């Protein structure tokens, strides 16, 4: 008896994904059309570009959903993907032009015409989950006996190039060296989540979380004491100095370092509980830079109000919860860690973005999942969703086979 996977699609994940993707297209049109009209460009150009990536995402979901999971568990395939990723990160750092003070975008051109650009750092988010899930799932018996030492081999630093810590640290360093500290932060936190769900004792997760909170507090305190201008002299870190300056007091330099965060506050204040109405934002008309990417949720609140923003967040958290539930229920260690990693990655990205626009943490230039303009981000999120849908269908099918086997043996 063969069970077709199309009958096992998890609609509690797929339908929220569709709803958020379509809502994202509406919000992207709302946040970009006015500025495009001012420039004399087609007001639909940004949303059309995002729509193309969405269709590509749906094709990717259909393809990945049909894949056999054994394909994803081949070390040779993951190793090839890692080396390709390292090569793209190196190329994007040393052979591409800067955008907003950073490298990281590779343009695919035909003649003098650029077809599209992609950002290798975005794809590392899902690659690091895949790589660590495969690596840790192969050591489950050792983890059960030796706890975290089964993953670290009892050493603080890697002693071999094959060590997962070496490859992970190398790729994170290349992302930070772009410099792209926003994506580097998400990748680091995602890797910590993967380490925490690998089967090690819960006390290590709480210990890591405490270290992150303490380290972040000390770093911000240090920057506050020595001054942002002093820290800005550190190589690579200089481009984010303004973000830290805005974090401490955005209204001290409203026309300079604090411009974005201050106008983010204005946008949310303008929205109130019920918003000004879709398309009626004031701040998106040149007052709030990056209103279609990093600060898109500020515009969402201005147009739809805190209630509208809360409903969108509720839908996002529902999607994350359903993804995490797949990981919790999964019997296979690889499947479990993949799903938990994807849910954790999306949760971290939401926290970093909302924390940045609200002043809870320094802004890092991270986009909001599904709603921000960015085809690469949407494609990566869609691939991650596809992995979870495939895993969930396979887990359901295996459960049915086990139940049938038990029934026949009675």
- 30 assigned to some structural domain: yes
Q: Are residues 268 and 407 in the same domain?
A: yes
The pLDDT value recorded for residue 109 is 72
Q: What is the pLDDT of residues 338-355, one digit of tens each?
A: 999 999 999 999 999 998
Last residue of a domain, one of 199, 234, 268: 199
Specify the number of domains making up the chain: 2
Q: Is 142 inside any structural domain?
A: yes
Spatial distance between the Cα atoms of 146 and 340, rounded to a whole number of angstroms:
22
Last residue of a domain, one of 199, 218, 239: 199
Residue 244: inside a domain: no
The continuous run of DSSP H or E covering 337 comes out as: helix 333-358
In this structure, the answer to whether residues 275 and 403 fall within a common structural domain is yes
pTM: 0.89
Nearest to 376 by CA among 16, 111, 56, 80: 56
Q: What is the pLDDT of residues 200-259, one digit of tens each?
A: 777 777 777 788 778 777 876 776 676 666 655 565 555 566 666 666 667 666 666 667
Helix/strand/coil percentages in the chain, nearest 5: 70, 5, 25
Mean pLDDT for the chain overall: 83
- The reply to whether 82 and 118 lie within a common domain is yes
Is residue 354 a part of any domain in this protein? yes
- What is the C-alpha separation between 178 and 171, in angstroms, rounded? 11
- Domain shared by 272 and 175, yes or no: no
Q: What would the pLDDT profile of 176-203 be if each residue is shown by its tens digit?
A: 888 788 888 899 999 988 888 887 777 7
271, 305 Cβ separation under 8 angstroms: yes
Which residue, 159, 179, 199, sits at the end of a domain? Answer: 199
Range of the domain at 180: 67-199
Domain annotation covers residue 324: yes
One domain for residues 321 and 372: yes
Going by their DSSP bridges, the two strands 113-118 and 106-110 should be labelled as: antiparallel
pLDDT tens profile 304-326: 999 999 999 999 999 999 999 99
State whether 193 and 332 are in the same domain: no
Considering the domain architecture, whether residues 294 and 380 belong to the same structural domain is answered as yes
Same domain, 75 and 9: no
Q: In this structure, is residue 400 part of a structural domain?
A: yes
Among 13, 29, 123, 57, CA closest to 371: 29
Are 86 and 170 in contact, with CB atoms under 8 Å apart? Answer: yes
Alpha-helical runs (H) found in 73-163: 75-94, 120-137, 140-146, 149-152
Task: Say if 50 falls within a structural domain.
Answer: no
Residue 234, pLDDT score = 60
80 and 118 co-located in one domain: yes
Q: Is the pLDDT of residue 40 over 70?
A: yes
Residues 193 and 265 in one domain: no
Please state, in angstroms and rounded to a whole number, the distance separating the CA atoms of residues 22 and 32: 16
Note whether 270 and 406 are same-domain residues.
yes
Instruction: Report which of residues 328 and 176 the model is more confident about.
Output: 328
267 and 404 within one domain: yes
What is the rounded average pLDDT of the residues 371-393? 92
Give domain status of residue 51, yes or no: no
């Amino acid at each position: 008896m063969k069970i077709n996977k199309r009958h096992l699609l998890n609609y509690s994940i797929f339908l929220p994904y569709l709803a958020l993707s379509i809502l994202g297209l509406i919000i992207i049109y709302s946040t970009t059309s006015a500025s495009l009209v001012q420039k004399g460009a087609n007001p639909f150009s940004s949303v059309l570009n995002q729509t193309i990536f969405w269709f590509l995402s749906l094709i990717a979901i259909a393809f990945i959903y049909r894949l056999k999971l054994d394909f994803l568990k081949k070390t040779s395939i993951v190793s090839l993907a890692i080396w390709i990723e390292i090569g793209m990160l190196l190329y994007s750092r040393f052979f591409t032009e800067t955008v907003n003070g950073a490298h990281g975008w590779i343009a695919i051109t035909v003649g003098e015409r650029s077809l599209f650009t992609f950002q290798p750092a975005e794809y590392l988010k899902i690659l690091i989950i895949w790589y660590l899930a495969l690596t840790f799932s192969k050591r489950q018996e050792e983890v059960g006996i030796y706890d975290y030492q089964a993953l670290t081999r009892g050493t603080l630093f890697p002693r071999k190039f094959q060590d997962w810590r070496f490859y992970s640290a190398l790729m994170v360093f290349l992302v930070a060296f772009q410099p792209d500290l926003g994506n580097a932060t998400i990748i680091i936190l995602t890797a910590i989540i993967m380490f925490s769900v690998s089967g090690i004792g819960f006390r290590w997760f709480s210990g890591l979380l405490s270290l992150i909170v303490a380290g972040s507090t000390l770093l911000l305190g240090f920057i506050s004491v020595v001054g942002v201008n002093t820290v800005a002299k550190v190589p690579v870190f200089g481009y984010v100095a303004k973000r830290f300056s805005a974090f401490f007091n955005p209204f001290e330099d409203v026309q300079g370092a604090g411009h974005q965060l201050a106008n983010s506050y204005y946008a949310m204040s303008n929205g109130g509980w019920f918003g000004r109405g879709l398309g009626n934002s004031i701040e998106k008309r040149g007052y709030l830079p990056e209103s279609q990417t990093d600060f898109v949720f500020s515009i969402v609140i201005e147009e739809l109000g805190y209630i509208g923003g809360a409903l969108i967040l509720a839908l996002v958290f529902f999607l994350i919860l359903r993804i995490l539930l797949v990981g919790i229920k999964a019997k296979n260690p690889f499947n479990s860690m993949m799903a938990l990693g994807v849910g954790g990655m999306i949760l971290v990205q939401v926290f970093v973005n909302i924390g940045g626009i609200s002043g809870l943490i320094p802004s890092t230039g991270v986009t909001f999942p599904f709603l921000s303009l960015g085809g690469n981000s949407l494609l990566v999120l869609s691939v991650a969703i596809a992995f979870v849908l495939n895993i969930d269908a396979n887990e359901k099918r295996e459960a049915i086979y086990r139940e049938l086997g038990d029934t026949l043996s009675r």
